[in-house]
Amino acid sequence: MRNSTVRALLALPALALYASSCLAQGGAGWDFQPRPLTRIPSGVVVGGDTVQGWSNPILFVRGQLTSGDLSVVNSTVTRYAELFNLILLANVVQQGDDGYVLEKAAIGFSTSIGGRNVVITSDTHRQLGANLGFIGGSVFSGNEAALKDTQQTARYRYGMVIDAPTLLLRDGKHVLTTARYFIWVSRRTGDLGVLVWAMDDPGPGADFRLIDATPQLLPPNLHENRRMHVDGGQFNMLGIPSATAFAVESLPPGTDVPFSPELAKAACVRTFDQQKYVALLTQVAKAVAQTAPAP
């Protein structure tokens, strides 16, 4: 486990206490209105140890079709299914007496252009030189549409909760779940931590339910070759896949963080307020207390 992750873990108890003390401040620094997660501006070069304008690359995901009905997938579909990389970035800045704060987080897709991984959008890929063509453009438009459902569910100056609809392979089936990312920042050091878990949706109005995939504490700047499962029944007669033809096999890999019943309850609320956010922060601090070795 990298030292920056360890320091972020060690900051959790103090951060939970500080957030509790801020409850009396009302709406200052809090935002619990779900809204689409910010998009990374097109043209940003990603994939290295640093990204200009962003302090913390969180995820760089390359999809790979590795299991299931691979025989039904032609070379064209395979190429475009693996052409785009999912990117998650954050930026931490220092703000006077507030210490280090999470200024922003954003998501997007990149592709290789001239030997560099460049963030693109449907409106900019041609001018940036991606030349996706008709099929590639259609596939990319579908990917972009999926990003619209990725949302910032809760926001505090030192953290954020992000919910991303995710097709996950469960018992041989492609099941729509929600991957929830909890991002937090150490006020003192600026180190950033990320914990991710998967949830089922039992229906409108009810809280989510934690599913059996073990929650993961992610390392910094995770580059993941994401294994994807193919459902051959989700292709039409022309060999074109539906939106549910591919599913991830697992959560992004990191360090296992088993959830107690108390943490599972706090982690799976559908909507947040200040008290629910502090409860999540407090329970996560307890859960990772045994996870962090000495830095």
> What's the predicted TM-score (pTM) here?
0.92
Contact 167, 175 (CB under 8 A): yes
Query: Highest-confidence range of 52-61, 78-87, 124-133, by mean pLDDT?
Result: 52-61
Residue 25, pLDDT above cutoff 70: no
Q: Which residues contact 217 (CB under 8 A, 6 or more apart)?
A: 5, 9, 193, 194, 195, 254, 255, 256, 257, 288, 291
Residue 27, pLDDT above cutoff 60: no
Q: What is the mean pLDDT of residues 109-119?
A: 93
Tens of pLDDT, residue by residue over 131-151, are 787 777 777 887 888 889 999
pLDDT level of residue 31 (50, 70, 90 thresholds)? very high
Percentage of residues in the chain with pLDDT exceeding 90? Answer: 59
Q: Sketch the domain layout of the chain as residue ranges.
A: 3-287
Tens of pLDDT, residue by residue over 189-201, are 898 999 999 999 9
Tens of pLDDT, residue by residue over 228-286, are 999 999 888 888 888 888 999 999 999 999 999 999 999 999 999 999 999 999 899 88
Identify the pLDDT of residue 273. 93
Q: Which residues contact 57 (CB under 8 A, 6 or more apart)?
A: 46, 48, 49, 50, 51, 87, 88, 89, 220, 221
Rounded Cα–Cα distance for residues 5 and 11 (Å): 10
